C-alpha cells in the first residue's frame, strides 16, 4: 500500500507539472498562427526528420547493448525491442517509469538480474546527460545566447557533475571509511544487500574505460541525429535553423524531460522548446509549432516501434530462460555472478582488470 501511495504521489506531481507547463506554453500565444504553420508543414521534410528519429533510436539501442555486454550478451534486435517497449511505457506512464519497465522486461526475458540491468540504465542516463549538457554548453558559446536558457544549461552542468560524483562515490563506497560497519548493519536484510550488490554490478560498467568511451561516442551520434531532426522539422515549417540553434533545441528540450512530468513528457518539452526558440528571436507561436511537431513525431515513431516490438517479443519470459538462469519471479537471489564476484573482490586492481567481466552469465 505504501509503495502504491508513493507511486500515485509521483504520478500526481508529474501530471501537475505537465499541466502547469502546458498552460505556460499556451499563454499569450497566437494559436491560430501555430495551427497554420502545422497545417502547412511539408511532408517530405517531416519524413526526413522521421528518418533521423529512427537513426537516433538505433544508436541508443547500440549504446545500451555495449553497456550491458560486460554482464550479458544480448542480440541487438532483441535488446532494441526491450528498449523500445520501455520508451513506449515512458510515452504512456508519468515520471519516466518506462526506465523501470525496460529493466524489468529485459531481466525477465533474458533471465538476468533486473537490478544489474537497471544499473546499466543509470550509467546510460549519466552518459546521456553529460553529452547533452556538453552539446548545450557548446551551442550557447557559439550562439552567444543570454537569459533563462543559459541558466537552465548551467543547472544541467551542475546536475551532470552531481551525477558523476554520485556514481563515483557509489562505485568506491566499499573503500570509504566505515564501509565495513555499514555493510555489517545492512547484513540484517540479506535480500536488500543482494539487490544493491547486483545494482552495483550494473553500475560497474562505468569503470570500464573502453565501454564508457564507446557509449559517449554513440551518445554523440544519437544526439547528432536529434539535431538533424530538429533542422528538418524547422524546414518543414519554413523556419531556417542553424546547426547551433538545432543543437540548443535538442539539448534544452531533452534536459527538460528530466523534470518529473506526465506521460510522454507532455508540456515540459513544449515549454522548453518554445522558450529556446524565443531566445533566437522567433515568435512564440513559431517556437510552439516547432516543439509540438518535433515532440509529436518523436512520440509517434517511438510508440509505434515500441508497440511492434511488444507484439513481436511478447511479455512472457522466453522459453527455457528461467530454467537456464535459476530465475525467480518473486525475489532476487543474493548470489552474484561468479565472475562479477571475483571482480568485486579485486576492485583494488580494477584499473588493470579486463573489460567484459561476467559476460555471458546469468545472476538471478
- Average pLDDT score over residue span 277-301: 96
Asked if 124 and 203 touch (Cβ cutoff 8 Å), the reply is: no
> Residue 217: pLDDT above 50?
yes
pTM (2 d.p.): 0.84
Instruction: Kindly report, residue by residue over 256-271, the tens digit of the pLDDT.
Output: 988 888 899 999 999 9
Predicted pLDDT of residue 35: 97
Instruction: Kindly report, residue by residue over 318-356, the tens digit of the pLDDT.
Output: 655 544 443 333 333 333 344 443 443 343 344 334 444
Residue 126's alpha-carbon distances to 97, 162, 235, 238, 268, in angstroms, are 17, 10, 32, 35, 20
Instruction: Kindly report, residue by residue over 69-125, the tens digit of the pLDDT.
Output: 999 999 999 999 999 999 999 999 887 889 999 999 999 999 999 999 999 999 999
Which of 156-165, 206-215, 348-357 comes out lowest in average pLDDT? Answer: 348-357
Residue 231's alpha-carbon distances to 239, 289, 293, in angstroms, are 9, 13, 12
Predicted pLDDT of residue 138: 94
> Residue 40: pLDDT above 80?
yes
Amino acid at each position: 500500500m505504501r509503495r502504491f501511495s508513493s507511486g500515485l504521489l509521483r504520478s500526481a506531481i508529474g501530471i501537475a507539472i505537465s499541466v502547469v507547463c502546458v498552460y505556460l506554453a499556451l499563454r499569450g500565444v497566437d494559436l491560430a498562427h501555430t495551427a497554420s504553420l502545422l497545417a502547412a508543414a511539408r511532408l517530405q521534410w517531416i519524413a526526413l526528420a522521421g528518418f533521423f528519429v529512427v537513426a537516433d533510436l538505433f544508436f541508443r539501442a547500440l549504446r545500451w547493448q555495449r553497456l550491458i555486454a560486460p554482464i550479458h550478451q544480448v542480440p541487438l534486435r532483441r535488446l532494441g525491442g526491450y528498449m523500445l517497449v520501455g520508451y513506449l511505457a515512458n510515452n504512456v506512464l508519468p515520471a519516466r517509469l518506462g526506465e523501470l519497465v525496460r529493466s524489468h522486461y529485459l531481466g525477465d526475458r533474458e533471465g538476468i538480474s533486473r537490478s544489474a540491468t537497471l544499473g546499466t540504465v543509470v550509467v546510460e542516463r549519466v552518459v546521456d546527460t553529460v553529452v547533452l549538457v556538453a552539446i548545450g554548453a557548446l551551442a550557447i558559446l557559439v550562439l552567444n545566447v543570454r537569459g533563462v536558457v543559459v541558466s537552465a544549461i548551467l543547472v544541467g552542468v551542475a546536475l551532470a557533475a552531481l551525477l558523476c560524483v554520485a556514481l563515483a562515490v557509489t562505485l568506491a563506497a566499499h573503500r570509504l571509511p566505515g564501509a565495513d560497519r555499514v555493510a555489517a548493519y545492512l547484513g540484517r536484510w540479506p535480500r536488500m544487500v543482494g539487490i544493491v550488490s547486483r545494482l552495483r554490478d550494473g553500475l560497474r560498467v562505468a569503470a570500464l574505460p573502453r565501454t564508457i568511451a564507446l557509449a559517449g561516442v554513440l551518445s554523440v551520434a544519437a544526439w547528432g541525429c536529434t539535431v538533424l531532426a530538429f533542422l528538418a522539422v524547422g524546414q518543414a515549417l519554413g523556419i531556417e535553423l542553424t546547426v547551433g540553434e538545432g543543437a540548443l533545441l535538442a539539448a534544452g528540450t531533452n534536459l527538460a524531460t528530466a523534470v518529473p512530468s506526465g506521460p510522454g513528457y507532455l508540456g515540459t518539452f513544449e515549454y522548453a522548446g518554445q522558450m529556446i526558440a524565443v531566445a533566437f528571436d522567433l515568435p512564440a507561436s513559431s517556437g510552439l509549432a516547432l516543439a509540438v511537431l518535433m515532440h509529436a513525431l518523436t512520440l509517434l515513431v517511438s510508440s509505434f516501434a515500441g508497440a511492434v516490438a511488444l507484439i513481436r517479443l511478447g511479455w512472457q519470459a522466453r522459453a527455457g530462460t528461467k530454467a537456464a538462469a535459476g530465475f525467480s519471479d518473486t525475489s532476487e537471489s543474493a548470489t552474484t555472478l561468479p565472475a562479477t564476484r571475483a571482480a568485486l573482490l579485486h576492485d583494488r586492481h580494477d584499473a588493470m582488470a579486463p573489460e567484459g567481466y561476467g559476460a555471458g552469465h546469468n545472476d538471478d
